[in-house]
Amino acid sequence: MTRLSAITPSGHVQLGNYLGAIRRWAAEGTDDDVYFISDLHAMTSSHNPARLRALTREQLAVLIAAGVPPRSVGVQSDLVRELGALTWVLECTCTYGEAARMIQFREKSVGRSSVRLSLLTYPVLMAADILLQGAHEVPVGDDQAQHVELARALARRFNGTYGEVFAVPRAVVPPTAARVRDLADPTRKMAKSAQDAAGTVFVLDPPDLVRRKIKRAVTDDLGVVRYAPDEQPGVANLLEILAACAGKEPAELAPAFDSYAELKEATAEAVVQELAGVRERTTALLDDPAELDRVRAHGAERARERSRHRLDAALRLSGL
Ligand code: ADP
């Protein structure tokens, strides 16, 4: 059984990525899985080449530092030739209507005067990633489930039209997916590309900055610590973050606090502690480029090896 998940280097790794995804990949991941940095996806909107390269390295270091099995880790563009080839074949099995129906495309393109064509087609690239690696399960947030549905449809269509090559993947939305919200605006999810970094805790933020951001988190004027996500989203977010760090349920933690200040203090300390080891190991890895390059090259070689027969078969069966 192979699982495949990715993180896009469109900004620094934030606490939501860590608690909602990376920590799980480290705990549950095996050498058969694939966890990669989707740098090609980061090019679907305006990007800076040097920053993209630096963020890709940083994210690779964070994944390894967090304990994701090094043999399962890689960088998407290390297979750009293979992916380019399969993406073309899959684009030739996908209709314009299917791509244009993707909710993410519609949301991200509405009202923009200029949209990169790749924003429309990248779900096909994502399908190529999944199908090339033979992934059976794709753990995703519910915002990406539609893209995995497209990958399923394209796998079935290819197999039915040209011959059995691809495993048909399925999306799995993790059952207790921690959905960390923005500290400054708890109605939105925390995201690495947030406009206002005050609401986003980055994994590599120094401890004092983490404490400052959490102490300034927006709450409400009700003054009671209860777990009520609809009425008190800010307080609920802090409880959820604390619970994720402590391995407890948010509702069971609430009665322990008499004030928002106490809750913030406890949450800040839990987050600082949770991130301390990852931050330290990431910094050490970034200072040791040779080791990072070695892991990256190894991941690329392995991903290429495991995908070669599928790519060859797909090209041959489709008439190339
Ligand atoms: P971002 O939204 O920060 O750009 P990505 O799209 O790169 O994140 O997603 C990487 C992983 O992190 C995905 O599995 C996604 O579900 C998870 N993730 C992103 N933001 C959050 C969040 N605020 N809470 C929980 N999980 C998150």
Listed residue (214, 191, 303, 210) closest to 260, CA to CA: 214
Percent of the chain that is helix, strand, coil (3-state, to 5): 60, 5, 35
DSSP-based three-state secondary structure for 112: coil
pLDDT at 266: 98
Assign 176 a pLDDT band (cuts: 50, 70, 90): low
* Catalytic residue check, 213: no
Burial class (CB in 10 A: 0-12, 13-18, 19+), 113: exposed
What pLDDT is attached to residue 179? 84
Euclidean distance between CA atoms 76 and 314, whole angstroms:
19
CA–CA distance, 284 with 280 (Å, rounded to integer): 6
Active site residue 108: yes
Among candidate residues 108, 213, 215, 264, the one labeled active-site is 108
- The mean pLDDT value for 163-182 works out to 87
| Residue 71 reports pLDDT greater than 60 | yes
Pair of tokens at residue 226: 């209860």
Q: Where are the beta strands (DSSP E) in the chain?
A: 4-7, 34-37, 73-75, 137-139, 170-172
**CATH code matching the domain that covers 197-283, chosen among 3.30.70.20, 1.10.10.10, 1.10.240.10, 3.40.30.10:** 1.10.240.10
* Atom 21 in ligand 1: residue holding the nearest Cα: 16
Q: How far is the CA of 4 from the centre of ligand 1 (A)?
A: 14
Average pLDDT along the chain:
95
Quote the Cα angle for 145-149-155, to 5°: 140
CATH class of 4-173+289-317: alpha beta
pLDDT at position 178: 67
4-173+289-317 and 197-283 have identical folds: no
% residues pLDDT > 90 (the chain): 93
Q: Work out which ligand 1 atom sits closest to the CA atom of 193.
A: 4
Asked if 52 and 240 touch (Cβ cutoff 8 Å), the reply is no
Residue pLDDT, tens place only, 78-119? 999 999 999 999 999 999 999 999 999 999 998 998 999 999
Taking only the tens place, the pLDDT of each residue in 19-45 is 999 999 999 999 999 999 999 999 999
Q: What are the Cα distances from residue 315, in Å, to 156, 163, 165, 256?
A: 16, 11, 10, 61
Cα of 164 to ligand 1 centre, how many Å? 33
pLDDT > 70: percent of the chain: 98
CA 11 to ligand 1: nearest atom: 4
What is the whole-number distance in angstroms between the Cα of residue 27 and the centre of ligand 1?
A: 17
Ligand 1 cavity residues, CB under 6 Å: 5, 7-8, 10, 14, 16-17, 20-21, 141, 178-180, 189-193
Whether residue 194 has pLDDT greater than 90: no
User: Could you tell me the residue ranges of all domains in the chain?
Assistant: 4-173+289-317, 197-283
Q: Which amino acid is at 216?
A: R
Residue 209 pLDDT exceeds 60? yes
**195 vs 128, more confident:** 128
pLDDT in tens, 277-306: 999 999 999 999 999 999 999 999 999 999
Q: What confidence category does residue 174 fall into, taking pLDDT thresholds of 50, 70 and 90?
A: confident
- Our mutation pick for probing the ligand 1 site, out of 8, 15, 17, 25, counting the most ligand atoms within 8 A of Cβ, is 17
pLDDT at 177: 53
pLDDT bucket at 143, cuts 50 / 70 / 90: confident
Q: Which residue puts its alpha carbon closest to atom 9 of ligand 1?
A: 7
Supply 15's token pair.
């606490």
